[in-house]
């Protein structure tokens, strides 16, 4: 108030100050507009739009992005095509998941079948609808609480949503406690805690020592409709890794809470498409009050679980249909029992609120069925491992003759299976010797990575890790002694390799890196990209788009390890300032090994946590993202990446 009164007594000074402020804002706006016009992040231009051999845009004066990254090293010294900054999205996009944005469905007037949950499946925006900007953290964002403390508490500012705590207050899901949210470990059907529930299930199944891993024979679990993933959190102490799965539905922040806690989890829905995992990936599937209509469409959702379960795999079902005696629940139970009997599943145990079914070990039961029995066996030409954008099928995936003869998957118990060559290697043409060599090479590579990061890694600062091109899972296997979990990603063109990941007792998913990944922003502490940029560039997709996507899913203070051709590394290093990753970095030329298909470089960079000043200064750029000039610019460009 004092300053205001003093300024009002000096009209001339007051006007000059106003003009200076207006001029400063105008200059900033013009500067942002220049960068917005001279470089549309991640965009490409067709040959017809380019004019002249120097690659200069005749209208805007901006440089056309190169498709051939091998030429970048020579060209960098002679042009300014790498931007100095990128605009920041509006704060309302701080939780944007580009391919799971339900607002987009309404805006594009799509007509998904709500009954079949199609509106919760992936719908990536067309190029002209993408946001070429960096996703900001919510106001007050803090570096996440470190594992293992994060299992039980997170910062409320990082996920400012408390409706789940209010709605599930009587079930011990989560409790708001000042500036934190606490997780007592409860669930809809295990109010007293997931730890006690897990022991009770182990006793039902007569597992030795009440340990859920059954002597190492149960390692991979799929938890469908997982809530905030407390079941998966407490399975970790049993040497069991659960892939906790839930959609971005009315409880839209379930998986966001789970990932913030440091629990292996992912967004997904049992709708119309197969889940993005190969057949025979899990020893056990779990549904605790997951509110799924398992009887719909001739049991197609149960048949999807059947595809994913290993021979003899369990389905743990904890729900009123398993124990309630009212007419409606009895009707559902009887119909479900009949369906699963026709699928050759058998009840292993049933006690109190839970029932456990088991899938057959061999094809024997299938072969004894009447040929007219529903559901039918899948056609022999059907590939049960195909999972990227593949529709579910209401049929039973039979075992190969080899698996039928061996009566099981032939896997060693955990942890031996991590390094033992799995039988399915021969299906992808890899020998046991090549598998072992791969394991050894990645063990050495990871040691070298950690040497480079040793000076800046804080204790327990890395928990959620993603290997963007997992190959045979060697990178994740090399991290087994560290207190981390790894989401192994098999690119679509090599999706068959993902079955080896699961056979090793690891988890992962299939994905096309020309599209955005199905996760919330700020969910991974470390991203490892081995030859990912070279691969997408060969397919005509954009390096810049992928870098912006990596920024979206990487936590502040998180690391990106990029291993690729020297030209790729050189270009990405120059792009770090625009990403605001211009703090600590390390760049080395690694030792040549049997996996080096070409000359390689390794770049390790750390993403900075923006301070409040950074957010305010760059937020002016957000106006450009929605301006007519920016929209016109983006319509003129050919974008491959859906964002």
pLDDT 10s digits, 239-279: 999 999 999 876 668 999 999 999 999 999 999 999 999 99
pLDDT in tens, 444-496: 999 999 999 999 999 999 999 999 999 999 999 999 999 999 999 999 999 99
**Across the chain, what does the average pLDDT equal?**
85
Q: How far is CA 323 from CA 130, 164, 192, 350, 355, in A?
A: 48, 26, 19, 9, 9
Question: Which residue segments constitute the domains of the chain, with CATH numbers given?
Answer: 413-622 (3.40.50.150)
Top mean-pLDDT range of 109-113, 321-325, 335-339: 335-339
C-alpha distance from residue 78 to each of 45, 166, 566, 571 (Å): 20, 59, 18, 13
Q: What is the pLDDT of residue 626?
A: 39
* Best CA proximity match to 459, nearest among 476, 488, 483: 483
- Is residue 209 scored above 60 in pLDDT? yes
Which pLDDT does position 622 carry in this prediction?
44
State the pairing for strand pair 464-467/524-530: parallel
pLDDT at 39 over 50: no
Higher pLDDT, 17 or 157: 157
Q: Which DSSP letter does residue 96 get?
A: -
More confident residue, 640 or 521: 521
572 to 292, 514, 544, 585: CA distances (angstroms): 44, 17, 9, 12
**Residue 617: φ, ψ to 5°:** -60, -45
The pLDDT value given to residue 601: 96
pLDDT of res. 613 = 56
* pLDDT 10s digits, 97-111: 999 998 899 888 899
Q: What share of the chain is helix, strand, coil (3-state, %, to 5)?
A: 40, 15, 45
What pLDDT shows up at residue 490? 98
The model's pTM: 0.85
pLDDT of residue 191: 78
């Amino acid at each position: 108030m004092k300053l205001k009164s003093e300024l009002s007594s000096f009209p001339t000074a007051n006007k000059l100050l106003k003009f200076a402020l207006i001029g400063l804002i105008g200059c900033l706006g013009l500067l942002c507009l220049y960068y917005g016009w001279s470089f549309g992040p991640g965009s490409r231009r067709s040959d017809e739009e380019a004019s002249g051999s120097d690659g200069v845009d005749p209208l805007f004066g901006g440089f056309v992005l190169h498709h051939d990254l091998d030429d970048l090293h020579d060209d960098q010294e002679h042009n300014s095509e790498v931007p100095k900054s990128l605009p920041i999205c509006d704060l309302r996009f701080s939780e944007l998941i580009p391919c799971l944005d339900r607002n987009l469905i309404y805006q594009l007037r799509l007509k998904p079948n709500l009954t079949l949950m199609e509106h919760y499946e992936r719908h990536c925006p067309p190029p002209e609808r993408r946001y070429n900007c960096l996703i900001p953290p919510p106001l007050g964002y803090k570096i996440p609480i470190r594992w293992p403390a994060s299992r039980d508490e997170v910062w409320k500012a990082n996920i400012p949503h408390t409706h789940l705590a209010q709605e599930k207050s009587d079930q011990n899901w989560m409790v708001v406690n000042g500036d934190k949210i606490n997780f007592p470990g409860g669930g809809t059907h295990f109010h007293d805690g997931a730890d006690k529930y897990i022991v009770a299930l182990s006793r039902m199944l007569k597992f030795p020592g009440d340990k859920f891993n059954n002597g190492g024979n149960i390692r991979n679990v799929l938890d469908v409709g997982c809530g905030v993933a407390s079941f998966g959190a407490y399975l970790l102490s049993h040497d069991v890794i659960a892939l906790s799965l839930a959609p971005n539905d009315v409880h839209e922040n379930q998986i966001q809470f789970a990932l913030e806690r440091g629990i292996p989890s992912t967004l997904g829905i049992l709708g119309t498409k197969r889940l993005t995992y190969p057949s025979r990936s899990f020893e056990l599937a779990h549904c605790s009050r997951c509110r799924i209509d398992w009887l719909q469409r001739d049991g197609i959702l149960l048949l999807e679980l059947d595809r994913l379960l290993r021979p003899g795999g369990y389905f743990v079902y904890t729900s009123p249909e398993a124990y309630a005696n009212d007419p409606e629940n009895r009707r559902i139970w009887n119909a479900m029992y009949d369906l699963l009997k026709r699928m050759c599943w058998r009840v292993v145990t049933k006690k109190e609120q839970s029932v456990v079914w088991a899938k057959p070990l061999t094809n024997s039961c299938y072969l004894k069925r009447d040929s007219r029995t529903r559901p039918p066996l899948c056609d022999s030409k059907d590939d049960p491992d195909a999972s990227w954008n593949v529709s579910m099928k209401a049929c039973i995936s039979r075992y190969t003759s080899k698996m039928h003869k061996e009566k099981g998957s032939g896997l060693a118990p955990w942890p031996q299976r991590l390094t033992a060559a799995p039988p399915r290697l021969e299906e992808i043409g890899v020998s046991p010797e090549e598998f072992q060599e791969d394991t050894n090479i990645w063990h050495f590579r990871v040691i070298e990575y950690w040497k480079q990061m040793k000076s800046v890694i804080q204790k327990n600062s890395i928990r959620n890790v993603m290997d963007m091109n997992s190959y045979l899972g060697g990178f994740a296997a090399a991290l087994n002694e560290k207190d981390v979990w790894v989401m192994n990603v098999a690119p679509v063109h090599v999706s068959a390799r993902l079955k080896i990941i699961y056979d090793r007792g690891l988890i992962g998913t299939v994905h096309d890196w020309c599209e955005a990944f199905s996760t919330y922003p700020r969910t991974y502490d470390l991203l490892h990209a081995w030859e990912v940029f070279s691969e997408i560039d060969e397919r005509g997709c954009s390096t810049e788009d992928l870098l912006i996507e990596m920024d979206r899913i990487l936590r502040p203070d998180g690391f990106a390890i990029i291993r690729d051709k020297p030209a790729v590394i050189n270009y990405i290093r120059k792009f770090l300032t625009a990403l605001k990753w211009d703090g600590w970095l390390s760049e080395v030329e690694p030792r040549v090994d049997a996996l080096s298909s070409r000359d390689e470089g390794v770049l390790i960079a750390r993403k900075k946590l923006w301070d409040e000043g950074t957010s305010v200064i760059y937020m002016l750029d957000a106006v450009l993202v929605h301006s007519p000039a920016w929209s016109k610019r983006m319509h003129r460009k050919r974008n491959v990446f859906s964002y």
